[in-house]
């Protein structure tokens, strides 16, 4: 598959031909179920778009039954920015319902398969985007990351996935899951393409009040020769599988031989991250999902009166995982428990942020696993709790609002990809991409 950098140099005619071939290839590989819809709208470089990002006049459903029939009335800001840069929205990719999950199994459209082993999950919630790029069915894709949904599927599928600093990329037109955590980001074949797509979609937007007034770009200034001080986490990685630990050791050696300085640091026990995240995310999700009432958007199940219409619509429209989170979110926000759960989670979130700030006073980057294991088999995580616990390496980054990038590093003994993430201080995307490029080069060199 050609890279985004190469595709941006193609003529209109070459692109049109490429897109026809791509469409045929997607149809031939429909068993992967990476896309839920392909619709060659514009004449730019085709980019795969997660089904929670609005493209004007196109269906947008966040992988849910409740939004069947809903057509986006306007473009998300990231889509507007893509169009002005010569890119176009080519297909909508599969995802966990409302981006809640780590496997893409909760989608209304059925599961997406991992191209490296079709018995395995592609990760989630941006599993369709990851599988599309990994199987040569997309040049690049957009995903969204609330607690790891770009980085973890990127790691499971062997591609690059980047979550920007909170506020770098406008959320206008993104279906909200947890508004204080969500960020849209690039999912690509390599680090340079991630930097190019990041540059295109980032920047100030007056339509999103949480969007920072910063417009600095990275891709023209990429420098893999820059020597950095990188923290590793000897205690934190003890929760990972042997395969992931081996990949971690390999990456440390690669970074050392690229001339970076490695220092050891520690993070607080990840059980605090998981509690703080699942309280914060479900509280915000409950609030965001209240708007799906059968009146304003998508599907409606007509009941015997208005209240019954709300109940029937929501009971039939939402899947089990979404309902579980609505219940949990309402519980932690209820007056009797608000102080005990929600307020405590916000305090914990501050502690998590502070521990990162302290580390970043002394280092440029942190190297961390993305997931404790490689992609699991379908149905292998038997309880929701098991799935939540598997987010231990990604969610603190969202709670702290930091940028991070997952880079493929090696494969497990059974051939499944393993990505590791570099984490940078807020708004230090240049350092993040420089370090990631250096890791990518050195690891490729080793191969």
Catalytic residues: 50, 125, 149
158 close to 150: Cβ distance less than 8 angstroms: no
Of 63 and 158, which CB lies nearer to ligand GLN in the complex structure?
A: 63
Of 44 and 164, which CB lies nearer to ligand GLN in the complex structure?
A: 164
By CB under 6 A, tell whether 121 contacts ligand GLN: no
By CB under 6 A, tell whether 103 contacts ligand GLN: no
Candidate segments 98-106, 220-228, 242-250, 253-261, binder of ligand GLN by CB under 6 A: 98-106
CB 319 to ligand GLN: min, Å = 13
By CB under 6 A, tell whether 148 contacts ligand GLN: yes
By CB under 6 A, tell whether 146 contacts ligand GLN: yes
By CB under 6 A, tell whether 166 contacts ligand GLN: no
**And the tokens for 14?**
């070459």
The three-state (H, E, C) secondary structure of 58-110, written as one string: CECCCCCCCCCCCECCCCCHHHHHHHHCCEEEEEEECCCHHHCCCCCCCCCCC
By CB under 6 A, tell whether 281 contacts ligand GLN: yes
By CB under 6 A, tell whether 270 contacts ligand GLN: no
Peptide bond preceding 313 in cis form (omega within 30 of 0): no
Separation of alpha carbons 402 and 166, rounded Å: 6
Among 145, 208, 284, 434, binds ligand GLN (CB under 6 A): 145
CB 392 to ligand GLN: min, Å = 11
By CB under 6 A, tell whether 161 contacts ligand GLN: no
Candidate segments 100-108, 220-228, 263-271, 417-425, binder of ligand GLN by CB under 6 A: 100-108
Handedness of CA 440, 441, 446, 447 (dihedral sign): positive
Buried/exposed 150-175: b ≥16 CB within 10 Å, e otherwise: bbbbbbbbbbbbbbbbbbbbbbbbbb
Among 44, 101, 128, 372, binds ligand GLN (CB under 6 A): 101
By CB under 6 A, tell whether 147 contacts ligand GLN: yes
By CB under 6 A, tell whether 53 contacts ligand GLN: no
- Dump the DSSP string for 341-387: IIIHHHHHHHHHHHHHHHHHTT-SEEEEESSSSSPPBTT---SHHHH
By CB under 6 A, tell whether 102 contacts ligand GLN: yes
DSSP annotation of 114 reads B
DSSP annotation of 414 reads T
Residue whose C-alpha is closest to residue 135's, from 180, 78, 93, 73: 93
For ligand GLN, the binding residues (CB under 6 A) are: 99-102, 125, 145-149, 177, 281, 391
């Amino acid at each position: 598959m050609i890279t985004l950098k190469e595709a941006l140099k193609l003529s209109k005619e070459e692109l049109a031909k490429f897109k026809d071939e791509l469409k045929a290839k997607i149809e031939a590989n429909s068993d992967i179920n990476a896309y839920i819809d392909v619709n060659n709208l514009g004449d730019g470089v085709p980019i795969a778009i997660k089904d929670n990002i609005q493209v004007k006049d196109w269906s947008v459903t966040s992988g849910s039954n409740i939004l069947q029939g809903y057509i986006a009335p306007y473009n998300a800001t990231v889509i507007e920015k893509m169009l002005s840069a010569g890119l176009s929205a080519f297909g909508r990719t599969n995802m966990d319902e409302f981006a809640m999950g780590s496997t893409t199994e909760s989608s209304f459209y059925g599961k997406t398969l991992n191209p490296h082993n079709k018995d395995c999950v592609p990760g989630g919630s941006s599993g369709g985007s990851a599988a599309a790029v990994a199987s040569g069915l997309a040049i690049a894709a957009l995903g969204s990351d609330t607690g790891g949904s770009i980085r973890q599927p990127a790691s499971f599928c062997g591609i690059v996935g980047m979550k920007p600093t909170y506020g770098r990329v406008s959320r206008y037109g993104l279906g909200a899951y947890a508004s204080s955590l969500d960020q849209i980001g690039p999912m690509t074949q390599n680090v340079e393409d991630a930097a190019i797509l990041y540059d295109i979609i980032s920047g100030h937007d007056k339509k999103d009040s949480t969007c920072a007034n910063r417009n600095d770009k990275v891709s023209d200034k990429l420098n893999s020769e820059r020597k950095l001080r990188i923290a590793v986490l000897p205690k934190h990685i003890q929760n990972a599988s042997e395969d992931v630990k081996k990949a971690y050791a390999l990456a440390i050696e690669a970074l050392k031989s690229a001339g970076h300085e490695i220092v050891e640091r520690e993070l607080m026990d990840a059980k605090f991250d998981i509690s703080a995240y699942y309280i914060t995310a479900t509280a915000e999700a409950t609030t965001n999902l209240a708007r799906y009432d059968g009146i304003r958007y998508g599907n409606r199940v007509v009941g015997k009166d208005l209240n019954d219409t709300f109940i029937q619509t929501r009971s039939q429209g939402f899947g089990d995982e979404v309902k579980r989170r609505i219940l949990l979110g309402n519980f932690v926000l209820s007056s009797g428990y608000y102080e005990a759960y929600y307020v405590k989670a916000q305090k914990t979130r501050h502690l998590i942020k502070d521990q990162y700030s302290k580390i970043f006073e002394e280092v440029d980057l942190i190297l961390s696993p993305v997931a404790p294991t490689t992609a699991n088999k379908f149905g292998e995580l038997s309880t929701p709790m098991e799935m939540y616990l598997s987010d231990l390496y990604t969610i603190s980054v969202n709670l702290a609002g930091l940028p991070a990038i997952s880079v493929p590093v090696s494969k497990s003994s059974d051939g499944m990809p393993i990505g590791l993430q570099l984490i940078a201080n807020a708004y230090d995307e240049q350092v993040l991409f420089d370090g990631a490029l250096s890791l990518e080069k050195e690891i490729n060199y080793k191969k």
